[in-house]
Homo-oligomer: A and B are copies of this chain.
Amino acid sequence: MIKSIENLSYEELLEKFKVLLKANNLKYTTQREAILKTLYDHPDHFTPENLYMLVKENYPDLNTGITTVYRTLNLLEENNIATSISFGSAGKKFELGNKPHHDHLICEECGDIVEFENDEIEKLQDKIAKMHDFKLTNHLMQLYGICKKCQD
**A residues within 8 Å of B by Cβ?**
84, 86-89, 91-92, 105, 107-108, 114, 116, 118, 120-121, 124-125, 128-129, 131-148, 151
Contact = CB atoms under 8 A, between A and B. Distances in A.
Contacts of A140: 140-144
A108 B120 contact: no
A142 B144 CA distance: 14
Copies of this chain, whole number: 2
Contacts of A107: 134
Given A86-B86, A88-B92, A124-B118, A145 B136 contact: yes
A101 to B, nearest CB: 14
Contact of A134 (B105, B134, B135): B105
